[in-house]
Amino acid sequence: MAQIHERHEFNSWALALQADALTPEQMAVLQGLVDEGTVASLKTAADFLDWQGEAIDSIEHMYGH
């Protein structure tokens, strides 16, 4: 879980994906959602994480975890 003192990495998974600003580990999170069959594409995975982050844990989401 993200800690309040951690550095803010990005505001949106979708925007970070579009800007090619995700780390390999963050890309692996998106690919994992595709591989599991949760979503059909990396773009959809990023959109899903944006929605999930806002609905479930907005602080953790903001740190890209």
What are the pLDDT digits (tens) for 24-53?
999 999 999 999 999 999 999 999 999 987
The domain segmentation of the chain, as residue ranges, is 13-61
Judge if pTM exceeds 0.75: no
> Are the beta carbons of 17 and 42 closer than 8 angstroms?
yes
Higher pLDDT, 39 or 60: 39
The C-alpha atoms of residue 3 and residue 21 are separated, in whole angstroms, by 21
Q: What is the mean pLDDT of the chain?
A: 82
The C-alpha atoms of residue 53 and residue 29 are separated, in whole angstroms, by 14
Q: What is the CA radius of gyration of the chain?
A: 11
For residue 8, is pLDDT > 80?
no
